[in-house]
Structure 1
Amino acid sequence: MAIQILSDLHLEAPKAYDIFEIEPKAPHLALLGDVGNVAGHRDEFLGFLTRQLRQFRTVIFVPGNHEAYHSDWPETLAILRAFEKDPKHRDDPSLGDFILLDRGVWRLPDSNTVILGCSLFSHIPPESSMAVSMGLNDFFQTDNWGVDAHNEMHKRDVSWLNAQVAELEGSDVRIIIFSHWSPTLDARAIDPRHVGSRITSGFLTDLSKEKCFKSSSVRLWAFGHTHYNCDFEADREDGAGPLRLVANQRGYYFAQSEGFDLVKTIEV
């Protein structure tokens, strides 16, 4: 079974919700955040999602930071949850299923593969707080948002992932994790131009010591946000075997990421 993976389409600037085309190469589509602005461009954003539901059996969605721009997180998530539960499209046989993964679990039909998904806000340490808060638009474009709230959401997401993995790893399931923020400091997942940047912690966190990263039950982790594409296997300790790390991000229209593949799929 295949899943098509895309992130960071950034259809908000210039607006391209109604013209951006995705050619289906798998029955399931995973959009790992930064598709656009949910509240500010509500009709266009949801219209784009509806078009994908006409093409894919399932559209899996993980919210990214740009989803909340020109709004706040509660409103953004409320709109996405209402769309997920909307009977007008849930009862339409011509549409696939919309799965919102905001600390959500979805089992791939007829398989032993379980997908865990959350935004995975990064951890911003005190020494980077000023640089990140002044250097990222998240803290200017998102209402009622700051470094303290961001870090609280990081702790929430990591705790949730660890608990879910601990609960599942005793069974025979294969776990895949989808997030927006990156879980690794591996050099293969970081744009060399940004190594040593003072705002790196706004984009990623090293989770290599966490259960959700170390568990042998977790086979693949796909993410976005960095605008740097990769697909490699990271070694893990204690005989856990390698973890495949995947990022397939378009980036901004005027600065698109090298290696982006509109038809990239993973076999699960």
Structure 2
Amino acid sequence: MRTQIISDLHQEFGMSLLDFNDIDLLIVAGDLNLGIKGIEWLKANVKDIPVIYILGNHEYYRGSYPKTLYKIETLAENTNIHVLENKSVIINDITFHGTTLWTNFELYGNPRVYGSMCQSRMNDYRLIRLDPSYSKLRSIDTYNMHYNAMKWLENSLKESATDKNIVITHHAPSIKSIPEKFRQDAISSAYASDLESFILEHKPNYWIHGHIHQPAEYMIGDTKIICNPHGYISDKL
């Protein structure tokens, strides 16, 4: 199955010119555009193949959680686009397990300390609101979202009806995805979680993610980790 993987196009800063010809599946690992603009662009430009769309943090900017998610899911109904937030879909005998998977802030130590640092420095906690109170998103909120997503993901992998399983998230599952020059930066704890033991235990075939603006490809046990913020075609899935 010829699969194109893209993430972090950030079309809010300018539209991207991409060729979706000669592929069988498009995977979007988040941060396509703000709010509903990304799903509208996908509906207008990718009509003949299945699309798997995972929301990133930027989809929620100037909006709220989970209202923005519900809007995007509604726009995807009865289309070729599968919006996966703690959901899975089977395509060509492969189960795709999708979740934004905010981090747990435990990459370098105490999540309270690093969560507080990230909350004070990152736009996520200024530009995203939380329903129904419409209060600003906090690091404790995304911490809880992380663990809820991990519980779902573990069950989804255990209950998978297919031999081949691919996990798609926006945030990264290992510090190995972080460029070397940022690995000592405390804010990187908002970009990746240390999920290597989880990966070794559950052995998905691939783990695809976004959020990091530098391509990465490496192995954790038998699982290939792929991050590609520019998009490329792989026929190996």
1:180-235 superposed Cα distances (whole Å, 9 cap, x missing partner): 0001122xx2211101101111011011122x55223x111000101121112223
- The runs of 5 or more residues in structure 1 that have no matched partner are 91-96, 236-241, 250-259
Residue in 2 that maps onto 1:233: 219
Residue in 2 that maps onto 1:157: 149
- Does structure 1 conserve the Cα–Cα contact (< 8 Å) formed by 2:175 and 2:183? no
CA drift at 1:47: 3.1
* Distance change (3 Å), C-alpha of 1:266 and 1:181: farther
Does the residue aligned with 1:33 lie in a helix, a strand or coil? coil
Q: Distance in 2 between matches of 1:101 and 1:205?
A: 20
Give the 5 Å matches for 1:98-117.
98-109=81-92, 111=93, 113-117=94-98
Residue in 1 that maps onto 2:223: 243
Residue in 2 that maps onto 1:69: 61
Structure 1 vs Structure 2 CA RMSD: 1.7
Choose from 182, 204, 220 the match for 2:206: 220
Paired residue type of 1:58: P
Paired residue type of 1:215: H
Q: Are 1:22 and 2:12 counterparts?
A: no
* Distance change (3 Å), C-alpha of 1:196 and 1:45: same
In the superposition, the TM-score normalised over structure 1's length comes to: 0.79
Residues matched between the structures, number: 225
Paired residue type of 2:100: S
Residue in 2 that maps onto 1:207: 195
Paired residue type of 2:4: Q
Residue in 2 that maps onto 1:120: 101
CA drift at 1:130: 2.3
Q: Distance in 1 between matches of 2:233 and 2:68?
A: 27
- Identity rate of aligned residues, in percent? 20
* Distance change (3 Å), C-alpha of 1:47 and 1:65: same
Residue in 1 that maps onto 2:164: 174
Choose from 34, 46, 62 the match for 1:53: 46
* Distance change (3 Å), C-alpha of 1:153 and 1:247: same
Residue in 2 that maps onto 1:32: 29
CA drift at 1:265: 2.5
- Does structure 1 conserve the Cα–Cα contact (< 8 Å) formed by 2:39 and 2:76? no
In the superposition, the TM-score normalised over structure 2's length comes to: 0.89
Paired residue type of 1:226: I
Residue in 2 that maps onto 1:238: none
CA drift at 1:2: 2.0
Residue in 2 that maps onto 1:11: 11
